[in-house]
Amino acid sequence: MFHWLEKNPFFFAVGVFIVIAYAGLIEILPNFAEAARPVKGLKPYTVLQLAGKEVYKKDNCIACHSQLIRPFKAETDRYGQYSLSGEYAYDRPFLWGSKRTGPDLHRVGNYRTPDWHANHMWNPKSVVPDSIMPAYKHQFTNVADLETAYAEAVTVKKVFGTPYGADIAPGKAAYEKELKTKILPEALKIATEMKRDDLIKMVKAGKVPEVVALVAYLEKLK
Amino acid sequence: MQSNATLEYDYTIAKLYMWTAVIFGIVGMTIGVLIASQLAFPDLNYLFGEYGTFSRLRPMHTNVVIYGFTVSGIFSTFYYVSQRVLKVSMGESKLLMGLGKLQFGLYLIAATGMVVSLAMGITASKEYAQMEWPLDALIVVIWVIWGVIMFGLIGLRREKTLYISLWYYIATFLGVAMLYLFNNAEVPTIFFSGGLGAWYHSVSMYAGTNDALVQWWWGHNAVAFVFTVPIIAIIYYFLPKESGQAIYSYKLSLLSFWGLMFVYLWAGGHHLLWSTVPDWMQTMGSVFSVILILPSWGSAINMLLTMKGEWNQLTKNPLVKFMVLASTFYMLSTLEGPIQAVKSVNAIAHFTDWIPGHVHDGVLGWVAFMIFAAIMHMAPRVFKREIYSKSLLESQFWIQTIGVVLYFTSMWIAGITQGMMWRAVDEYGNLVYSFIDTVSVLHPYYALRALGGLLYLIGMFMFAYNFFKTATAGRRLEQEPRYRSPMA
Amino acid sequence: MNGMIVKALVMAGVLIVGTLVVVKQMNIDLSDPINMITFIGAVAIAVLAFGVAAKYMAQMKNDTATGELAEDNWDGIGEYKNPLPSGWSWSFVGTMIWAIWYMLMGYPVNAYSQIGAWNKETKEYNKKFQAKFKNADKETLKDMGESIFLVQCAPCHGDTGDGMSGKAHDLTHRISKAQVLYVIKNGSHYFKYPIGAMPAGMAQGKAAEEVAAYVAGGLKGKAPAAWATCAGCHGQDGKGNGGQAPDLAKIDSTLINQVLTHGKKGSIGRMPSFANRFTPVQEKALAEYIKSLSSKE
Ligand code: HEM
Ligand code: HEM
Ligand SMILES: [Ca+2]
Ligand SMILES: [Ca+2]
Ligand SMILES: [Cu+2]
C-alpha cells in the first residue's frame, strides 16, 4: 500500500493530511466550550488596562515573565493561589509565556503597588539591586495607544460578546466620551499613586504615558 | 528511465534562497549573541534605545532565524532537490518559473515587513506566530504558491515514485498550512470599531486556555514542521548524495515517516503541562512525546547506518562531518525533549533555561548544521565552482561544535539548578530562595552561553565568507561532481 | 567496550557530575521525588544519547555496509532493503508499554487531578509543619521569619528591612514623624483594632507637629499637651491601652498581624494585604523576625 501511495502523490498527500489532522480534533475541541467560561465575578479589562496589555505585548514582557501559577506548593507559596482556566476567559491572546527569566506575574497586583512599579520600571536595580531586567524609561514618555485599545474593546464586545457596557460602541464620538469620562480619570488615579509629577502632568494634558497604562494592567493581575 | 544528460536543472530560485539563508543567518545569530549577552551583562540593553532591550530583540531573533534563515534554507533545498529527484527542470515550465520568482519576491517583502514590525513592537504575542494579520495574509499567499509549484513539479515528474525527501516536503507544506491557518485566526479591530485605532491590530479568535491549546498545537508542530520534517527531507537527500552511499533501510524510512506523522501532532500538550488544560490532555502530551522518541531516532539511525563503514569519509569530508554530527544532535534533542515532557521532569524543566538549552541542541546542532552542509553541497553544483576553502569549513565545524556544547551544557546546568532552587524549602518548610537569588546564581552560565554563541557566530561568518568566495571566486568546474563536493 | 562508547560515557559523566556539584552547592535536596526523577531523566538523556550515537559511530569505523539494493534510484541515491534494527523496534514497543502504564497507573487519565494532588500535598505539609513548630522558641521563629521575609517582603522593605531610602516603612524603627503627621491629618481605618477607626484631625498645626515628633522619638521625655487626646485611645504610655489601639512605641505582633491582614496606606504609600498567604506559624515567625529588626536600635 505504501509503495502505491508513493507513486500516487494526491493520495499520499491526503493520507498525510488525515494522519496529522485528527489528533487536533480529538485533543483540542472537547475542551473548547468548557474553558471559555469566566470565573464568577471576572470583569473584562478596562480600556486603560487593555492599552496596558498592549504595552506588555509591545515591550514583550512575555519574553521573561509567565502568567501561570502551577499547582505546586512551592509555586503557590511564592505567587499565591494557582491559576484557574476561567480567570483567562477575556485574555486574547493568552499570555502565559514559556520562560521565567523573571518571576510569574499572574497575581502581581496582589503584592506590588503602582509606586513600586514606578520605581521598578524606571530602574529595576533601584528596588532589586541584582536585577537583570531592563529599565523601561521610554515607557514614561511614550504615549499609550488608547484608541486602538478602545477599538479592541468594541471588537471583542461585538464579536465575542465580552460584557462591556453600552458606552463601548463604535465610532470616534463614543471613544472621545469614554476617554473623558472613564479612561483619563482612571489613568490619573494610577499616575497619582505612582507619585511622579511628570506622569500626572501628562495625564492631565490628556496623554496617558505607556507606563501608566501598563501599571493599570499589572494592578488588574490578581 | 530517462538519462540525466539532456536535462538542465534551473537553480535560479534555489540560488536566491541560498543568499537569503546566509544573510538572515548572520542577522539572526548576531541578535542571538546580543540577547544572550544581555542576560549576562544587562547594560547591553541600552545600545539602541527602546529598540534594543532583550524583550524587543528576542522575538526578532526567533523570527529571523526561523522565518529568515531556516525557511530560506528549506526553500533553497526544495528548489534544488525536488527537480533532481523528480527529474523535471523548473525551466521546463514558464509558469512555475514565474511563480517561483513571485514567491521569492513576496517572501522578501514579508521578511522585511516582519523585521520592521517586530522592531516597532507590533506583535500578536504568540510565540512563533507574532506577525500581525496583514503579514499572515501575505504568508498564506506565499505558502499557496509554494504548494502550486510543488504539486506542479510533481505533476510533471519523470520519476514515478516519490523520493523520501519529497514525502517530508509534502508533509511540511500540509502541516504548516493547516496549523498556521488555525492558529492565526484573528479579528482585525479596524473593521468592527468604526475605523478606530491601528489598522494592523487584531485580537485572537480564541481566549485563554483555548488560545493556549491552539497556540501550542501550532508552536509544537511548528517545531515539527519547520525544524524537523523539512530538515529530515534535507538529510535524506544530501547525506547519501554527498557520501555516495545507499540509504540503509527503506523499511526504517517508511516506519519513521508515518510514525512521525501519526505521533507528532498529539505531543503538543507537553507545552501545557501543569497548566489549566485538563489533566487527561496533559497526560496524552507526555505519553505521545515519549513514544515520539523512536520515530525521531529512526531517521537519525537510518542516516548513521547509511554511513556504516565510511569512517574514512567522516574524517576527510567536512560536509559529512556536519551531517553526521547533526544526526547525533537530532538524537540528543529528541531524547531530551521527551524526557522533559514527562510530568515530573517538566515540573522542574518548564520555564527554566533548560528549555532554551534543549531548543538550541536542535536548532544549532541539527537544523543549522544541516543547512550549512546542504548549502555547501549545492554551491559547487549551482555556481559550477569548487568550494572555496576546505580548511575554513573544517575550522568552522570545530568552532561551532564547541559553541553548541558550551551552549547546551551551560543551559542544562543553569536550568536544572534554577528549577530546583524555585522549589527548594528549608527545614521549616519555607521557600529558601527569593526569586532574585535564583537569577543571580545564573550569571556564570549566562556568560558561558554567550561565549558559546559567539563561537557559533564566528563560525557563521566563516561560512558566509566561504560561501561568498565559492560563488564568486571558486575554481571553475567543468563537470558536475557526482557525489563528494570538490573543495580547495 | 569500544573506545568511542567509553569516550561518550565519560562526556555524559562529566556533564552529570558537573550538574550534581552545582546543584549540591545550592543545598538542593535530591531525595525529593521530583528532583530525583528529574535527575534520573538527565542521566538517561546524557548516557543514552551519547552512548547510542557512539555505538553507531563505532559501526562507521568497524563495520561495512551490506544489504540488497532496491530497484529505485533517485538522482544516484539508492536504497537498501535492510530490516528494521531490532534494538529500535524493541525500544519502540517498550515506550508504548510505558505509555500504557503511565496512562493507567502513573497519571491515570480518568482519575488523576493535579488540583487534588495540590490540595493533598499542601494539607499534609501545613499539618506537619504547623505541628512541628507550634511551640517553637523565639530564635527558631526568627530564623524561620527571615527566609519568608527575604522572599516576600524584601523587594519593598529591602534585604535589611530599612525600607530602601523611604520606598517602604523602615522596619528597624517604629515610625517616622512624617508618617505620624499623615495619620493625624488623614486618620486611619485600615486595621481592625477594638476601638475602631482613628478619626482625622485629632490635632492641628503646632500641636500636631509636637505629638508627631514625640511619637517618632519613641515617646521619650515629656509629653506635649496635645498628647492627652491621643492617650485617650493609645494609652498614656502610648502602648495601645492593652491592645485597644496600636502600640505606638514599638512594632508588636498585633500590628504586624494587622498590616499583613489588611495592608496599609500611609505617607510612604500603600502596602498590599497578605491575607491568606501565610499560616499562623509563618505569621508568628514574620512578626518575631521583624521585632528583632526594630529591637536592634
Ligand atoms: C521527540 C521530539 C521532541 C519532543 C518530545 C520535545 C519536547 C519538548 C518539550 C517537553 C519542551 C518544553 C516545553 C516546556 O516545558 O516549555 C520543548 C520545547 C521546545 N522544543 Fe522540543 N522536543 C522534541 C524535539 C525538538 C527538536 C528536534 C527541536 C528543534 C530542532 C525542538 C525545539 C523546541 C523548541 C523551539 C522548544 C521551545 C518552545 C517554547 O518556546 O517554549 N524540539 N520540546
Ligand atoms: C549564535 C547562535 C545563537 C545564540 C547565541 C542564540 C541565543 C538565544 C537566546 C539567548 C535565546 C533566548 C533564551 C531565553 O529567553 O532565555 C534564544 C532563543 C531562541 N533561539 Fe537562539 N540563539 C542562536 C541561534 C539560533 C538559531 C540558529 C536558531 C534557529 C534556527 C535559534 C532559535 C531560537 C529559538 C526557537 C528560541 C526560543 C526558545 C524558547 O522560547 O524556548 N537560535 N536564542
Ligand atoms: Ca519559549
Ligand atoms: Ca498572526
Ligand atoms: Cu513541543
The whole-number average pLDDT for the span C60-71 is 91
B362-371, C218-227, C233-242, C273-282: which is most confident = B362-371
In this structure, which residue's CA is closest to atom 8 in ligand 1?
B337
- For C180, what's the count of Cα atoms within 13 Å in the CB-facing half-sphere? 27
- Does residue A1 or residue B271 have the better pLDDT? B271
Question: How do the residues of chain A divide into helix, strand and coil, expressed in percent and rounded to 5?
Answer: 60, 0, 35
Query: What class has domain A47-220?
Result: mainly alpha
Across residues C49-73, what is the average pLDDT?
Answer: 92
Is the CB of C60 less than 8 angstroms away from the CB of B309? yes
- What is the pLDDT, as a whole number, of residue B1? 41
What is the model's pTM?
0.95
Q: B192: which DSSP letter? A: T
CA distance, residue C123 to nearest chain A CA (Å): 10
**Stretch C159-178: mean pLDDT:** 94
Q: Classify each residue of B329-338 as buried b or exposed e, where b means 16 or more C-beta atoms within 10 Å of its C-beta.
A: bbbbbbbbbb
Which atom of ligand 1 is least distant from the CA of B219?
38
Q: Which atom belonging to ligand 1 lies closest to the Cα atom of B330?
A: 27
- C94 sits in which H/E element: helix C86-101
What's the confidence (pLDDT) of residue A21?
Answer: 86
Helix, coil or strand: residue B458: helix
B118: helix, strand or coil: helix
Contact B178 A21 (CB under 8 A): yes
Annotate C107-145 with b (16+ C-beta within 10 A) or e (fewer).
bebeebebeeebeeeeeeebeebeeebeebeeeebbbbb
Instruction: Output the pLDDT for position C1.
Output: 57
Confidence band for C131, pLDDT divided at 50, 70 and 90: confident
pLDDT tens by residue, A87-135: 999 999 999 999 999 999 999 999 999 999 999 999 999 999 999 999 9
DSSP code of residue B67: I
CA-proximal residue: ligand 2, atom 35 (nearest): B62
pLDDT band at A1 (very low <50, low <70, confident <90, very high): low
The list of chain B residues with pLDDT below 50 reads 1-4
Compute the distance between CA of residue B297 and CA of residue B303 in angstroms, rounded to an integer.
10
* Contact assignment for A100 to B351 by CB distance below 8 Å: yes
C-alpha cell at C212: 508627631
Asked if residues B118 and B63 have their Cβ atoms less than 8 Å apart, the reply is: yes
Cβ-Cβ contacts under 8 Å for A53 (sequence gap 6 or more): A45, A95, A149, A217
Closest CA to B135 of B72, B186, B170: B186
Cell of C101: 502504564
- Asked if A23 and B440 come within 8 Å (Cβ–Cβ), the reply is no
d(CA C9, CA C1): 11
User: Is the Cβ–Cβ distance between C74 and C67 less than 8 Å?
Assistant: no
**Would the CB atoms of B85 and C75 count as touching at under 8 Å?**
yes
Domain residue ranges of chain A, discontinuous segments joined by + = 4-35, 47-220
Indicate whether this complex's ipTM tops 0.90.
Answer: yes
B433 touches chain C (CB under 8 A): yes
B283 contacts chain A (CB < 8 A): no
d(CA C254, CA C252): 6
Report the alpha-carbon distance of residue C273 to residue C262 in Å, rounded: 5
**Which residue type is seen at C227?**
W
Ligand 2 binding pocket mutation candidate from B26, B360, B442, B455 (most atoms within 8 A of CB): B360
> What would the pLDDT profile of A64-76 be if each residue is shown by its tens digit?
999 999 999 999 9
Q: If we measure between CA atoms, which residue out of B406, B416, B412, B401 comes closest to residue B447?
A: B406
Alpha helices in C114-268 (DSSP H): 114-132, 138-152, 154-157, 177-186, 205-216, 227-234, 253-262
Distances in Å between the Cα of B231 and the Cα atoms of A95, B71, B73, B370 are 30, 10, 9, 7
Residues from chain A that touch C277, judged by Cβ atoms under 8 A, are 80
Amino acid at A28: I
Q: Closest Cα to atom 23, ligand 2: which residue? A: B32
Three cell numbers, residue B361:
541542541
Q: For residues A191 and A114, give the distance between their C-alpha atoms in angstroms, rounded to a whole number.
A: 8
For residue C10, which residues of chain B lie inside 8 Å, CB to CB? none
**Residue range B52-83, pLDDT digits in tens:** 999 999 999 999 999 999 999 999 999 999 99
Residue among B247, B285, B245, B290 nearest B268 (CA) = B285
The predicted pLDDT at position B2 comes to 46
| Predicted pLDDT of residue A139 | 98
Distance B77 CA to ligand 3 centre (A): 27
Three-class DSSP category at B165: helix
- The distance of B213 to chain A (nearest Cα, Å) reads 6
Q: In the predicted model, what is the mean pLDDT of chain A?
A: 94
Extract the C-alpha cell encoding C96.
508504548
Average pLDDT of the residues in A172-184 = 96
C102 — contact with chain B (CB < 8 Å)?
Answer: yes
Chains that touch A (3 or more CB pairs under 8 A): B, C
